[in-house]
Every structure is written in C-alpha cells, then in structure tokens.
Structure 1
Amino acid sequence: MSQDFCDIGIAITTYSRKDMVCSLVERIQLLTRGDYKIVVCDDGSSDGTVEELRKKGIIVLGGKNKGIAWNKNRGLFYFSNICRAKTIILLDDDVWPEVAGWEQEWVLAASRVGHITYIPPSYMRYSPVRPMTATNLGVGPAVAGVVLAQTIEALSTVGYMDTRFGRYGHEHSDFSIRFLRSGFGGVSCYVGDELHYRFYLLDSGIKLLDSVSSSSHEDMEKNAILLKELQKEPIYRAPWHNEEEMHEFLREFGRGFSEMNDPPFEGKTFNSDSYYKKHEDVYLSGWDAFGHYIENGIRELRDL
C-alpha cells in the first residue's frame, strides 16, 4: 500500500456535533499555514456529520460508537500508517483556533519535548501562569485531552490510547503519563515519599468552546482505578486490546489493512499434504506447497 506524507497531521474527534465540527474544519482551513492534512474521526454519529463532512471533501474515519480512546486511535493510526505525519495534533471538536498559524506553537513545542497538551482556564487550581508558549512552557500536575500534540518519533515509543478505558475518562491521562515515562512531555518528581508527575503544558492560539460533555461519574470513577493499575504495565499500547478488537479496528480501514491479519485460507493452519494431493502438478514441479498457494494458488482459485 502506498503511503502519503505531510508535516502536520490534524485529527479531529467528534460525536454527533455536526455544526460544531464542520465549523472547526473551516476554521482550521482558514487559519492553518503549515503543510497539513485533516481527518475527522467520527464515533458513530447519527446526525448527518459524516455525510456533511464528505460533501466538503474531508476524509472521515469511523464506524461504530467505541469511545474516546478508540476514536482518537483512528487518527493516530491514520497519520502513522496511511499518511505519515512528522507531528500529529489531536483535537476535540470543541477546540477553536484563534490566530493565523495557530498550529506552529504546537509543532514547535512537540519538537522540543515530544508530547505537549492543553490545559483550559477551568483547571485553575492546576493551572500555571499564562500565557504558555512553545519557548515558555507551563508545567503542572494535570492534563486535559482536548489538544494533544506529539512527534511521530515520541509516539513510536508510546503507541496508542488504551481501549480498556472504554467510553470516557482518564484515557488521555494514561496516554500522557506513558509519554512522561518514556522521557517525553514532562518530568516525574518526589513529594515526600510519593512519586508525582509534572506535565508540559501549552495554551497558545486556541480557546475551548462551551459544549455538553458525554462523561458520566460512574465511568470516571471506574477509570480512575484503572489508571493506577495500568502504571504497572509496559509503556507501549497497540490500538486494540485483544485479537477481536484488532480485527474490528483494522476492518475500519478497509482492504490492505483488514487482510494483514486474516489468513488467505480457512482456519489457522495450512495443510501441505492436502494441497499436494489436490494439485499433483505442484508436487511434481518441486514447489513448496504454501509458497505456491500464496504466489499462484490464490490467483488461480485453487482448492486447499
């Protein structure tokens, strides 16, 4: 499969906010100055979001409603494997760029520290002095997942968001903590005998619009427990948690990806003896049975 390239990959995640996400796309197109590409990751909207965006010529990724981690992974996967970007910026649909060239601060900050995140003014108790710029980063103990920028090199050590977080809650915190554990996006320090995290933060060029959250208190509490448990695990995560999720995720990206993990024969085991018995010409030719099937048999519609 051929691969495209760009300097900046912008992946917007949305769910049933057609007007908001369409306005954001237009705003990005108006104010972004770098070599960039946009995709929208739609998490199963039923309000005409997909159709409206495709009318505008926007690439839309998505499928069933799978939750925030899965939906952001769609954008990360696209800009890691289909259009390879040097810097990937994940945006929620309620983010609003305010200045021309807004993305440059995020790209520069990511190039300096590998991973950078936004913290809104509503997080006042965790908020460092503003404004925070690429050359004067904020440092604080909390992160918000509405804007996340990372270099492709840093991302390669961390991978994707953990889909065990389900629909909502703390998936972005786990993501940023894993960057920090890899040496990107922040520092760890001891306060007394306890290990604490301090993240690099940025607020340049954007603001957060008012919107209704789909969060639930139950999800947040459950995922807060999961967040602590996952710190004991290795840093890297795949875009899926198990084989069933792997097949479902790759099917969203169509031929060439879904086939990577589907064997071109029924079951999991190729029977060479059976193939030779059915195709004596292959046996007499000296071909390895499996090699012949992959290179010729599939195309020739030979039975197994």
Structure 2
Amino acid sequence: MSEHDRTTTPPAPAPPTVAMQASPTATDITLGLSEAEAQRRRAAGQGNRAPFKTSRSYGRIVRDNVFNFINNVLFTLGALLIALGRYLDALISVGVIALNTIVSLVQEVRAKILLDRIAILTRPKATVIRDGRQREVDPNEIVLGDVIVLHAGDQVVVDGPMVGSGRMEMDESLLTGESDLVSKRPGDQLLSGSFCVTGGGMYLAEKVGTDTYVFKLTAGAQAFRRVLTPLQSRVNIIIRSLLLIALSFEILVVVKSFLDDIPFVETVRMSTVIVALIPNGLVLSIALAYALGAVRMAG
C-alpha cells in the first residue's frame, strides 16, 4: 500500500472537562442540563454523593456502652464468680451493670434516631435548572455541571463559579471564621457551606461530593466526643477510684496468697469479696434517674 492510499483517522474529540463546563454560554445557563444528561452523569459517578453523618453509628454506640473500663472489670469479676459456682453473687454483680448498659443503649439509640430525623428535615434544599425549568431538589440529586440558582438566605451546597449576571454578598464565617461579608461577581468561586446574605444569581456545580470544600474541611472534625454532666463526671471519678483501690487490694491478696501458699481457689474467693467495694447500683441509679427525667420532659 502506497503512502497516498493510507488514510489517517482523526482522533476522537476529548470529553468535556470541568474547566470547559466552567464557562457555559447564555443558552446553557438558561436551559441547564437535561434530565437525561443528569441521570447519565449520576450513573457515571458525577453526582453529589457524600457520606451523610449526623451522629455515631449503631455499632459505635454499642461498643462504647458495652466495652468500657468499668464494664470490663466487673464482667471479668462476674466470670470468676461463675467459675467458682457463686451464681447469685455473679447475677447481682453483672446483672446491675448489664441493666445499666441496656438503659444507656436505649437512651442513645433513641437519641440517634431523633437526631437523624431532625438532620434530614433541616438539610438545605437547592434550586437547579433542568430542561429550562427551575426545580427544587435534594443536594444528593445535584450532578457535575448543574446550574444552581441562589437566592438570599440560601446555602451553597457544592463548589463552583458564579455564572450569568448579578452580585451577591456571601457569609463565609463558618468556613473561614471571618465575620465580614464577601462580595461575589460572575466568575468568582462560591464555596459550599457559605450563605447568600443579599443579592442572588446562579453558579455552576464544579466540585461535588467528597471534592467539595466543606466536606474536606469537616472530614477530620467529625469525631464524636461524649459530654458528661457534672454528676456523671463525679460518679465516674468515684467508681474509678474505688476500682483502683479494689485492684490494689487484689494485688495484696495475691501476694499474700503466694507467700503463705494459700490454694488458688481460696485466693479467688477472697478476691471476689473485694467486689463489694464497688457500688454497682450507683451507676444504674444515675442512668435510671436521667432516663426518667428524659421521659418526663418528653411527655
């Protein structure tokens, strides 16, 4: 085959990039994306999908309430009592802690359910332009390249440049800590998590999901921290102190048994007597008091 007969196939056009989408025409702004195109982009992984965490997971709640310092010690002592055949003592020792754990689990699971419902109800909505019409959607339905309408009082839900015309005063205090309003004009970048205080306009969804500024900002700040009441803090200090005292006595008993050649079974029996130093019912009474108080307030 001669050089003249050879034909070269022109390269396929490159798919539109985010940078190309960042400068839409006036027609693009007016029409927005079509529903079919939005569904195609969502299927391609270009939707605004990000983990929506409002509180701890159920597994974390169970783990924190069951496997804590006090429970681990008392469950171990309860197992020793069962091994010695002292089932009633084991039932009293472990049963109180188990009941306290159940009460705490019920309280926290109920609180989580209520918090999740409130978070869903208060989650901001967004107004997008699809097929030339404005419609209100959940932030999860936004896709890359969507044209989003912003009014005074609305929150920016994804990152992207302001397009079209207009001017807005934005409150970015949640992101930067600065209380001064920031003026935005077409071409300026809008950050998710900021609020439109005055004015209005449109912006293009340039970064969605885990690529948004607010997601990266809060990703490392979502660790849950339990806040105890003053009474709970004092009770925990008392119980931990008594546990340390009991542990010291246990060490003395073991050392004495070793020096006096006391049988192992007798050593364990003496050790379990020290469990009485720990006020198991105190933890349960505090938990029940808070639970009853919450029920009365809810009623």
Q: Do both share a fold (TM > 0.5)?
A: no
TM-score by length of 2: 0.21
TM-score by length of 1: 0.21
Give the number of the structure whose residues are more often helix, by fraction: 2
Give the number of the structure whose residues are more often strand, by fraction: 1
Q: Higher RCO, 1 or 2 (CA under 8 Å, sep at least 6)?
A: 2
